[in-house]
Amino acid sequence: MAKNPTGSASDRLPHPFSELLAAATVPPQAEFLVHSVKVVCGRQTETNCCCTAGARPGVYATEVNIQNITGQPAQVAKFFVPLINAGAVIGREPKFADPAKISQHTGELITLPPLAATMDDCCHIAELLLGGPPSGESALTIGYLTIGSFFELAVSAVYTATPLSGDGISIDVEYILPRRLGRGPGQG
């Protein structure tokens, strides 16, 4: 990203971040940092099919934690790109999920105060996808929660999985490093 950006945030960022950050305050000499977090939620049941939709039978949950690790309020843009939505596979090769077509429904812009933290979990992802709070247990949903900001963030993901039998549980914590958003050769 250019050292002295000019114009609005939406002029400099590719869609869907441009829509979310159209009114954002851009700090001087800012780079746009992106965290891409894999999310696995819901129940995958036994199937009689030749292909299980992305996961072995079990119950899955993901919690994504976001902390503003700066001394000033940070605007954070987020959107979810589903590859499997409530059991329906929408992003299996050769198909793909296009965030430019779905982000207006699954995106949001928040402001985190200095050192404040928030989380996104399977309930919030389902609410973004459904347009309202979910009821009951959800079928398997897999995708990416993409988090972007001009400010430094600490992002981690907590993954849990339980077999359908309920015997045992697996838990894993991953720290998601940021990447500078590239716009192509010679553009930033």
pLDDT by position in tens, the chain (length 188):
333 334 444 445 556 677 666 666 676 667 889 999 999 999 998 765 556 666 888 999 999 999 999 999 999 999 999 999 888 888 888 888 877 776 556 788 899 999 999 999 999 999 888 888 778 888 899 999 999 999 999 999 999 999 998 889 999 999 999 998 765 554 44
Quote the CA–CA distance of 80 and 108 in Å, as a whole number. 9
Report the pLDDT value the prediction gives residue 9, as an integer from 0 to 100. 44
Count the neighbouring beta carbons within 10 Å of the beta carbon of residue 182.
12
Report the pLDDT value the prediction gives residue 160, as an integer from 0 to 100. 97
Report the pLDDT value the prediction gives residue 98, as an integer from 0 to 100. 79
Report the pLDDT value the prediction gives residue 20, as an integer from 0 to 100. 61
8 Å CB contact between 103 and 14: no
- Whole-prediction pTM: 0.82
Report the pLDDT value the prediction gives residue 48, as an integer from 0 to 100. 52
Q: Which residues contact 174 (CB under 8 A, 6 or more apart)?
A: 156, 157, 159
Torsions phi, psi for 58 (to 5 deg) = 165, -175
Q: Which residues contact 176 (CB under 8 A, 6 or more apart)?
A: 35, 36, 37, 155, 156, 157
Quote the CA–CA distance of 5 and 27 in Å, as a whole number. 9
Q: Say which residue the tokens 């400099």 belong to.
A: 12
- Two tokens, residue 136: 């009951």
Q: Nearest Cα to 13, choosing from 185, 150, 183?
A: 183
Report the pLDDT value the prediction gives residue 4, as an integer from 0 to 100. 35
